Amino acid sequence: MTGSLLELTDLRFAWPGNAKDCLDIAELQVAPGETLFLHGPSGCGKSTLLSLLAGVLLPRAGRVALLGTDWTSLRSAARDRHRVDHVGYIFQQFNLLPYLSALDNVLLPCRFSARRRDAAVLHAGSERAAAEHWLTGMGLDASVWRRQAQTLSVGQQQRVAAARALVGQPDLVIADEPTSALDEDRRQAFLDLLLSACATGGTALVFVSHDRRNADRFGRQVSLPAINRAARAEEAAA
């Protein structure tokens, strides 16, 4: 294994039933603890790429490896385990379980991953203390911890989703346009919390947005259309 956390080489991906590749990327690497801002217009394949990085989708060709393990070498259940052990995912629509409390949503990764549970206990003394730590870190006080996720505001849900991604110190947090529903002040505040939480935990962050405001706060910026040969082929044909 090299020093990379995430390594992508000669990746090609096409959606089923689609003759043309959606993504064709020679190389992309993310180092441990690095913060990467990935941008590009709507529809350029950002969410698709994140699903490939997290082993939710598998490429048609090429290699995507997290901590030296190629996602395609794992069976489905092992992929799920590798993901929950090492990756926190903040979805665009948050994907909280609506009837669970904020706290129980944050505890979910600890239920599914012994590694995340052990890290949480080591870090805070108990899973619950760790969940409360990250909720507090995201600016959510005890008055919201017991509330059902579905009763929370969009901004609160987003912070719960971030706390859930961070609990048990995964190696990588992936965030898919998590600030698109927020106004500029809240966007800044959320980014402050997320970046400082990742720095504290030594967690790498891959943050996707079509909006390049605040991109300079990240260690590195990558334009997806610039690295995607499938997009260049499309442009050349047009």
Positions touching ligand ADP (CB under 6 A) are 15, 22, 40, 42-48
Residue 11: HSE in the Cβ half-sphere, 13 Å Cα cutoff: 29
**Which is nearer to Mg ion, 47 or 72 (by Cβ)?**
47
**Which is nearer to ligand ADP, 47 or 95 (by Cβ)?**
47
**Which is nearer to ligand ADP, 147 or 210 (by Cβ)?**
210
**Which is nearer to ligand ADP, 219 or 225 (by Cβ)?**
225
Strands 204-209 and 87-90: unpaired
**Which is nearer to ligand ADP, 3 or 16 (by Cβ)?**
16
Q: How far is the CB of 9 from ligand ADP (least distance, A)?
A: 20
Q: Which two tokens stand for residue 165?
A: 């991604």
Q: How far is the CB of 30 from ligand ADP (least distance, A)?
A: 18
Point out the residue whose Cβ comes nearest to Mg ion: 47
**Which is nearer to ligand ADP, 40 or 62 (by Cβ)?**
40
Indicate the DSSP class of residue 217: G
Q: How far is the CB of 225 from ligand ADP (least distance, A)?
A: 10
Report what 45 binds from Mg ion, ligand ADP, none; CB cut-off 5-8 Å by kind: ligand ADP
Question: What is the C-alpha separation between 12 and 26, in angstroms, rounded?
Answer: 9
Nearest one of 3, 28, 122, 17 to 60, comparing CA atoms: 17
Strands 69-70 and 61-66: antiparallel
Report what 98 binds from Mg ion, ligand ADP, none; CB cut-off 5-8 Å by kind: none
Q: How far is the CB of 48 from ligand ADP (least distance, A)?
A: 3
Computed on alpha carbons and rounded to an integer, the radius of gyration of the chain in Å comes to 18
Report what 43 binds from ligand ADP, Mg ion, none; CB cut-off 5-8 Å by kind: ligand ADP
Q: How far is the CB of 224 from ligand ADP (least distance, A)?
A: 7
Contact residues for Mg ion, defined by CB under 5 A: 46-47
Question: What is the C-alpha separation between 61 and 58, in angstroms, rounded?
Answer: 9
B/e letters for 132-149, b = 16+ CB within 10 Å, e = fewer, are: bbbbebbebeeebbeeeb
Q: How far is the CB of 106 from ligand ADP (least distance, A)?
A: 26
148 contacts: CB under 8 Å, gap ≥ 6: 98, 99, 100, 101
Strand order in the sheet with 61-66: 23-30, 6-13, 61-66, 69-70
